[in-house]
Structure 1
Amino acid sequence: MDKKNRPLIYKNLFLLVGVLLLINPVIIYIVFGKIWLSLLTTLVAVVLTVGVAERKKLRGMFTIWLNFLIVISIFIHSEAVFTSRFPEYIIEDLYKVNHYYYFNRPYLDKTFQDKEYNVRYKTNAQGFRIGSDDDPDVRVQECDWLFIGDSYTQGAQVEYEDLFTSKLFDSFPNKIIVNAGISGMGIIDEYYYYVNEGKLLKPEKIFLQICNFNDFMKVEKRTAGFSDYLMHHSNFARFMLYDLKYANPAELPLGRWTEPFYPDKKSNIDYNIFYREQSEKKKRDLKNFCLYLQKFSKAAAENGSELILFQIPTKEQVHFKYLNEVLSEFDINIEELDMNFPNRWLSKQCKNQEIAYLDLLPDFTSSQAALFYDFDEHLNILGHQQIANSLRKKIEMSPSARAEITMLSKSNAGDRYPVFDIHDSTVFFQSWRDGNMELFSADSTMQSVQRITWNNRDELHSWPSPDGRTIVFTEGDQALNTTKVILMDINGTNRRSITNGIDTFGAIPSFSPDGNWIAYAAWHLRSGNFTNPYIVLQQIHTNEVSIITSDDYEHWRPIFSPDGKTIYYIAKDKDDQFDIYAYSLQSKKRTNLTKSTYDEWDPSVSPDGSTMVYSARQNGNWDLFLLDLQSGVKRRLTDSKGDEWDPTFSPSGKTIYYAATYGLRNGIFKILTSD
């Protein structure tokens, strides 16, 4: 080694070791969990350190650069130690940071516990709140009604099923309802959420929630700063800075949040919307509120949405007990307050801007129930029910808002393919359980549910025999195209496949009215490839098989007419889309019943044989249609943003049961066939 170069080599080696100790890739990986980031960060630090050290012109910067590395190193090591050794002190980061607002992080599954409630809080891949048993990977592409608001809409103090938005779905089950409430949002945050994200859901109606609690104070555009992003990405920074940014309720007067009431007169003049005296600060807040309400209304109109504003009162407006507490504790004279001012003021602004407005104060004050928690300032279960009741009354003023639809399923478990036993009105259907589809039966209200199958195989498309003794269904993984048609006694015994042969498969069977035949789609595996499915009839007692269609193209979903003389099925003919066909078992003649330019699926015939209901994808989603089998006249039965499938007539023919997905909600529903 050249003696002249030895000091330089030692120097660079020293710098390399020093940087590796300061910016340790192992520590960075522990903190951030990304190998590429840890290696890249260390490499950049090494290159920059050597580069600064070797350039004479930059030697003055070397000390600054070295101190910077030391500070960064201390922070990264502190983060690693805090996260790994003190997990009990980690404050959960529940929100993702956008520039002008926060929103729920996706895939949250937390428990919020307080002395007055214990609630599970779960979100989907988009950050929207969902039920505890719901699939978080299910997304909403469009919605009918979008609810935007602060913590009163978010409702983290009640279970998802008790939110007023969930209660509204119970009354309007064919509407896709999205709850985009986030704690701490004000009208400016809500405006920026809508123009950046909310409008992409293309809502028909936007319900903007305002609460007199704190929506009229500090109405300013808030931008996320360095500390916000730092707290978002660092457990240690969040622990250190949290108490500086957010007050602890235990330190608040009365041991609870009392906004907009304050212990000092100046704060009441500046921020308390009920306080008669107004400072320039309060006037500026009201001016900004009015400005952004106008912006919101304009943005909604430009996107074809109707803006509806509803105003929630505070505890102090509804119950004298809470008002008296702040009056006594903060030494406020009742004459200094106007407890109806925010409602009059907001009503006037909405009238001037032609915005639909609903004041909830009258309904809240007339209620005999306790609608708020005693300690917490938010609504309890009864409060959410009251909001749902009030909103329902306003919405029902529009005749088109409510359809004669009832949701029968009790949970989002993928209930599909309802079929009736015509003798006792038992409904058979499939539902997701224990990681696969299983078969169930229930009464016509789906209150009394009984499980038919228990195993680790998918069982689907059940159809009971006319005598109610057996059931036929599909078994296996549909994605692999290797399903079989299974016949089984209704009690789960005597299970056997009627699609015999290793390379013979079948799906979606149905019984003939006399119970002697089963129709299903069948296909084969030939030379490593599957044939197209074709329709076959199989005699139960002799296993005689009759093929009624070719395999030139796809044929599915065969059903019998009530008199057993006709087979209806769907087929993808030359136009590469599915139509519904009728096949006469007597004349062997085939007729295209729909002849449309879009797919039709899932035919079902009324008990008297006069009408067919089916699902069609006419406008980008699946809706239900009725077809008069004599005249050929079609009538649209549903027109929603959701998807409606698998319709079947009830034994009376007056009701149609069907499966549907409306945004985050799915299951079996029913609708009347008459207008």
Structure 2
Amino acid sequence: MKENREIKIHKRLFLTVGILLLINPVIIYLISSSIWVSLTISISAILVTAFINESQRFNVLSTIWLNFMFVLSFFLHAEVIFSYKFSDYIIEDLYSIKQNYYFNKPYLNKTFQDKEFLVKYKTNAQGFRIGEEDDPDTRVELCDWLFIGDSYTQGAQVEYEELFTSKLFNDYSNKIIVNAGISGLGIIDEYYYYINEGKNLKADKVFLQICNFNDFMKVEKRTSGFSDYLMHYSNFARFILYDFKYANPAALPLGRWTEPFYPDQKSNRDFNIFYKEQSDKKLKDLENFRFYLNKFAKAVKDNGAELVILQIPTKEQVSYKYLNEVLSDFDIDIDDLDMQFPNKWLSTLSKENKIVHIDLLDDFANSEIPLFFDFDEHLNIAGHQQIATSISKHINNKNHKVRSTVLSKLNVGDRYPVYTTSGHSIFFQSWRDGNMELFLSDSNLKENRRITWNKTDELHPWPSPNGEEVVFTEGDQSLNNTKVVIMNSDGSNRKYLTDDPSTYGAIPSYNYRGDKIAYAAWHHLDGKYTNPYIVVQNLLNNEKTIITSDEFENWRPIFSPDETKLYYIAKDKNNQFDIYQYSFENKTITNLTKSDYDEWDPCISRDGTKMVYAARKKDNWDLFLLDLQSGKKAQLTDSKGNEWDPNFSPTGDSINYAATYGLRNGIFKMSLN
């Protein structure tokens, strides 16, 4: 008995060690990067093996189970060896599998290289493509225009700034424009993306990009099988199976993708939208397309938006060179083709569904320069520019007026633009090297000169009237640990106005003579901070005059041009900010806005007659104009973004301001004429 017990114990130990070697937790950890996953799988394998081994009824099952363990072990070890030893051969998995569609993985940062392009491809936390300098943690919750499409919208062959959606933002800078293009999507995938995710962005316009290349063929609901998930999660499986599932362009008949043209008659009947002869399969695809376009149009309408179809032609429709190539090499008779059919057919469908249809065929055909790459089937930089131009032409014909232009060249959080007295230069702050720094630029932000270089935040610049100095906020706003500092405009010779260790300050401004500075000040007393109050400091004698109490918060003081008044924002007992006017002559305080929503960032025109400011009337910040003589208000912006930090030009006919529009941000200029 004792001997049998020892044999059983040794057998169990042997099985346990064997399973641990086969289903090694270290190997699983290298794959999953999770200690809990690795331990759970290894322990579960040991327990299941022990249970089967102890049950005499499961001899066949025991054999199957052990064989499964050996096969699983082989692939687990192969995955680790391939991933770590042969990482140069890894084919990147760029997409997350969803129900009936797929989408970009979040936080991608890849480089795509082909003989015709070299492109950086980066996505944010939601999987939307962003620029190389953009913050991937920035999310977009609402948008004005949502572009849904395949690789022609995705544009992985050009840099983010060259996408037609990025070009459109330059022309319509007050719009939040989202590019949701994904390579390989068809109308059914795009429909399911919209009803599951896209509709939550509440776009006013939904642009559905359709390309005659392959959007009318194989119109079937996507189902993800075992091999899809295996390739999704395994680098080794993706390497082995990739060539079986996806063709290499170099191995194609003409060395490039030529869809919808094929070298055999049957494939042309089944898939070629230009081919006059139609098989039952093609008719079924067209019927499915019609069905899902109807569903798409209804879903967009039910969500309170307008659907716009953007139809892109193929290379063969706009270039005789490429058309002749497929005709001669595939032995296709030109009389068997109707090269206008998909455009006429989609135009009819659009009219039936009361959908706006932007057909790009004529614009592309009339272009004097190539709009596609020579070998790759996609749009080059000129092609993306042409689409942006065509869309702008259509929108302008609909009387959409845009008064703002983008001044910032980078998407790096430029804010607080302030003109110098001459109007030839602008000071502003920008996020660089992990913190906010100060810049001096020309009035169009074309020639930027960085004037601070350190690891401390510098914010809220305000130049002296002679332009020789600038006053600003220095320090960490989140900790209430900021000081008011003056320095020369070249960044030298810093002097602290709030030099007391327990006194802090922020958001200063000069008066028009340059001998006084107003700012918000507060103290750190008995372990807590007081509310900020308004201080005016005389630079000639260093005398400080307290304008307000610290009963409530007070911020952002600015002088009137004649220096008889001071404007600032203050909270009241309702915990809401209004804009107030303080009279130096009679010491009276007047509430100028008296609204039930927050107002910030007051700025006075040089003639003293108007005030521009930001207000949170709805769920976002918009700009307003107040006539100081009549008291009349006018709303300048009504966007889904946030506009703030307005600053009048010296002539008063325009304002510069900072804004965020979804994934885009920076400094903008608006005409007031």
TM-score (norm 1): 0.98
RMSD (CA atoms): 1.1
The percentage of aligned residue pairs carrying the same residue is 65
Report the equivalent of 1:597. 596
2:423–2:649 CA contact under 8 A, matched in 1 = no
Report the equivalent of 2:336. 336
| C-alpha deviation, 1:99, in angstroms | 2.2
Q: Distance in 2 between matches of 1:118 and 1:433?
A: 26
Alignment of 1:263-342 (within 5 A): 263-342=263-342
TM-score (norm 2): 0.99
1:425–1:650 CA contact under 8 A, matched in 2 = no
Q: Deviations over 1:456-492 (max 9, x none)?
A: 2111101011122211001111111111100112222
Q: Give the aligned residue type for 1:128.
A: F
Q: Distance in 2 between matches of 1:4 and 1:267?
A: 70
| C-alpha deviation, 1:600, in angstroms | 0.7
Alignment of 1:14-163 (within 5 A): 14-163=14-163
SS of corresponding position for 1:255? coil
Report the equivalent of 1:417. 416
Q: Count residues with an aligned counterpart.
A: 673
| C-alpha deviation, 1:56, in angstroms | 3.1
SS of corresponding position for 1:521? strand
1:425–1:651 CA contact under 8 A, matched in 2 = no
Q: Distance in 2 between matches of 1:452 and 1:87?
A: 43
Q: Distance in 2 between matches of 1:424 and 1:205?
A: 38
Task: List alignment gaps of at least 5 residues for structure 2.
Answer: none
Report the equivalent of 2:562. 563
SS of corresponding position for 1:254? coil
Q: Distance in 2 between matches of 1:628 and 1:448?
A: 34
1:207–1:309 CA contact under 8 A, matched in 2 = yes
| C-alpha deviation, 1:618, in angstroms | 1.0
Q: Distance in 1 between matches of 2:192 and 2:622?
A: 34
| C-alpha deviation, 1:4, in angstroms | 4.2
Report the equivalent of 1:364. 364
SS of corresponding position for 2:623? strand
Report the equivalent of 2:179. 179
**Does 1:232 find its partner at 2:232?**
yes
Q: Distance in 2 between matches of 1:227 and 1:542?
A: 79
2:533–2:549 CA contact under 8 A, matched in 1 = yes
Q: Give the aligned residue type for 1:105.
A: K
Q: Deviations over 1:195-245 (max 9, x none)?
A: 111111111100000000000000000111111111111000000110111
Report the equivalent of 1:197. 197
Q: Distance in 1 between matches of 2:202 and 2:68?
A: 48
Report the equivalent of 2:617. 618
**Does 1:550 find its partner at 2:549?**
yes
Q: Distance in 1 between matches of 2:571 and 2:53?
A: 73
Q: Distance in 1 between matches of 2:447 and 2:79?
A: 54
SS of corresponding position for 1:418? strand
Q: Deviations over 1:489-535 (max 9, x none)?
A: 22222211010111111000000111111000001111111111110
Task: List alignment gaps of at least 5 residues for structure 1.
Answer: none
Q: Deviations over 1:605-659 (max 9, x none)?
A: 1111111111011110000011121222211110000000100110001101100
Q: Distance in 2 between matches of 1:424 and 1:650?
A: 7
**Does 1:629 find its partner at 2:631?**
no
SS of corresponding position for 1:229? helix
Q: Distance in 2 between matches of 1:552 and 1:14?
A: 77
Q: Give the aligned residue type for 1:184.
A: G
| C-alpha deviation, 1:7, in angstroms | 2.1
**Does 1:243 find its partner at 2:243?**
yes
Report the equivalent of 1:522. 521
Q: Distance in 2 between matches of 1:589 and 1:596?
A: 20
Report the equivalent of 2:377. 377
Q: Give the aligned residue type for 2:525.
A: R
| C-alpha deviation, 1:305, in angstroms | 0.9
Q: Give the aligned residue type for 2:464.
A: S
2:125–2:136 CA contact under 8 A, matched in 1 = yes
Q: Deviations over 1:264-297 (max 9, x none)?
A: 0000000000000000000000000000000000
2:565–2:581 CA contact under 8 A, matched in 1 = yes
Greater CA deviation, 563-572 or 60-69? 60-69
Alignment of 1:372-451 (within 5 A): 372-399=372-399, 401-451=400-450
Q: Give the aligned residue type for 1:102.
A: Y
| C-alpha deviation, 1:448, in angstroms | 2.0
Report the equivalent of 1:461. 460
Report the equivalent of 1:208. 208
SS of corresponding position for 1:342? helix
SS of corresponding position for 1:483? strand
SS of corresponding position for 1:253? coil
